[in-house]
């Protein structure tokens, strides 16, 4: 048994906030007790004095890339899970753009089996279309029955309207969400860099905002007539935020996610950091960043997801137009949320935790993201006043524009299924 004493519990699911002691037994929360409850006489009890640190639900990231199978030199399921635990995530949902893609039972089973070997909960989406080719739907029913948490061709937009409509109809029957990557390739000359000041700086065409706006507008028009849960992934433009806001008035099945890098950085970061700040969709303008924050504040954007996208150092060292897009994010996400959203007054700590735990868990129907007696003992112990420097990662990759920055919020423990899977040792 594990006994967490003298902590400050923040559970956005129940609205509980205050000093509590927590008793953990057999992977479940056995008791949420008033602070100072005498549990010292219980046998086999490991007591940890938290000295007022926060206790929050284990974080849930529903948009990560662990590159396994096919690209394990970038990351694999084990190293990705270690990075997740270090960042406070006890549940992750993997994207399906692996090699082979997760469009078949064998690959799906491989990912889920390997995920069970880690210390956290590893789920995965399956592909919407076979081979991510956008021409034929996968056997969504079989993949759902075998454990697919949702469906996505993340990295490639679904251009065929009728195929999208059919996918949403099937997903509605299966009660699985569909997540969409919203960039029209016909409008993009060079992906990963905003077609504005950043593209002009490098003398390239870049990726215009219309590439996202046009896809979001079309897909929401289709989605509001369906009963499937649809999530707009890694939103980057103020126009797309407004489109989601309007669509939510017409349907309760519309969701959106924002990444920490999109609510923290603008295209100026690409000018400073080059390929380390190249990503799809690209970092845009300050007005877009502020619109994303407002969307998080008013509930238009339901959740925060990292789009953890590891690449090798050699790949990111290539010229800007040749290097792959994406940054790692699992280990910096919570701190960026505290720094950019909580400390600047946009969200309360409880609201931030909700968007990083309970809300994404609800969309994917995961038993996660809350703290309750009898519920899963998936918890994070956080020192909100501590600081650490981004220098070294549990991830196999190091492609981050935040290296060298001082971050608030030090994770002391990540606990999953009642077991400590990470003990903090950050500087």
Could you give the CA distance from residue 365 to residue 415 in angstroms, rounded to a whole number?
21
State the DSSP string of 168-235: HHHHHHHT--EEE----GGG-SSTTSBTTHHHHHHTS--B-HHHHHHHHHHHHHHHTTS-S-EEE-S-
> What is the DSSP code (8-state) at residue 41?
T
| Catalytic residue check, 385 | no
What are the two backbone dihedrals, phi and then psi, of residue 241, each rounded to the nearest 5 degrees?
-60, -45
Place of tokens 């190249």: 278
Could you give the CA distance from residue 233 to residue 231 in angstroms, rounded to a whole number?
6
Q: What is the helix (H) or strand (E) element at residue 270, kind and residue range?
A: helix 268-273
Could you tell me what percentage of the chain is helix, strand and coil, using 3-state DSSP and rounding each to the nearest 5? 30, 25, 45
Closest CA to 145 of 125, 116, 174, 168: 174
Could you give the CA distance from residue 263 to residue 220 in angstroms, rounded to a whole number?
22
Q: Are strands 178-180 and 151-152 parallel, antiparallel or unpaired?
A: parallel
Which residue in 61, 288, 307, 378 is the catalytic one? 307
Closest CA to 391 of 425, 419, 365: 425
Could you give the CA distance from residue 237 to residue 262 in angstroms, rounded to a whole number?
9
Could you give the CA distance from residue 41 to residue 51 in angstroms, rounded to a whole number?
20
**Secondary structure class of 365 (helix, strand, coil):** coil
Closest CA to 109 of 63, 65, 146, 69: 146
**Residue 142, number of CB atoms within 10 A of its CB:** 13
List the catalytic residues. 307
């Amino acid at each position: 048994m594990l006994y967490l004493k003298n902590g400050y519990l923040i559970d956005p699911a129940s609205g509980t906030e205050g000093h509590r002691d927590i008793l953990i037994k057999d992977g479940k929360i056995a008791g949420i007790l008033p602070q100072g409850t005498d549990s010292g006489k219980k046998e086999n009890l490991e007591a940890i004095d938290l000295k007022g640190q926060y206790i929050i639900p284990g974080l849930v990231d529903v948009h990560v890339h662990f590159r396994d199978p096919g690209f394990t030199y970038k990351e694999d399921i084990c190293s990705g899970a270690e990075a997740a635990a270090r960042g406070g995530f006890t549940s992750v949902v993997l994207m399906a753009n692996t090699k082979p893609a997760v469009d078949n039972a064998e690959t799906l089973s491989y990912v889920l089996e390997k995920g069970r070997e880690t210390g956290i909960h590893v789920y995965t989406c399956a592909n919407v279309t076979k081979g991510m080719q956008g021409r034929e739907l996968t056997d969504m029913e079989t993949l759902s029955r075998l454990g697919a948490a949702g469906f996505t061709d993340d990295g490639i937009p679904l251009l065929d309207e009728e195929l999208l409509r059919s996918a949403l109809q099937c997903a509605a029957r299966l009660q699985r969400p569909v997540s969409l990557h919203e960039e029209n390739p016909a409008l993009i000359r060079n992906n990963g860099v905003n077609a504005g000041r950043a593209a002009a700086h490098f003398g390239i065409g870049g990726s215009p905002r219309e590439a996202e706006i046009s896809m979001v507008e079309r897909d929401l028009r289709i989605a509001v007539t369906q009963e499937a849960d649809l999530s707009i992934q890694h939103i980057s433009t103020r126009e797309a935020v407004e489109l989601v806001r309007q669509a939510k008035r017409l349907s309760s099945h519309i969701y959106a996610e924002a990444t920490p890098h999109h609510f923290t950085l603008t295209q100026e970061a690409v000018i400073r950091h080059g390929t380390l700040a190249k990503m799809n969709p690209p970092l845009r303008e300050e007005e877009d960043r502020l619109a994303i924050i407002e969307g998080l504040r008013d509930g238009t954007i339901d959740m925060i997801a990292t789009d953890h996208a590891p690449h090798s150092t050699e790949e990111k060292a290539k010229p800007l137009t040749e290097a792959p897009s994406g940054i790692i994010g699992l280990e910096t996400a919570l701190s960026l949320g505290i720094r950019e959203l909580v400390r600047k007054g946009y969200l309360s700590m409880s609201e931030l935790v909700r968007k990083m735990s309970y809300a994404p868990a609800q969309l994917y129907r995961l038993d996660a993201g809350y703290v309750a007696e009898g519920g899963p003992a998936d918890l994070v112990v956080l020192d909100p006043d501590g600081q650490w420097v981004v220098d070294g990662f549990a991830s196999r990759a190091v492609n981050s524009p935040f290296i060298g920055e001082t971050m608030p919020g030090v994770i002391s423990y990540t606990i999953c299924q009642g077991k400590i899977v990470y003990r903090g040792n950050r500087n």
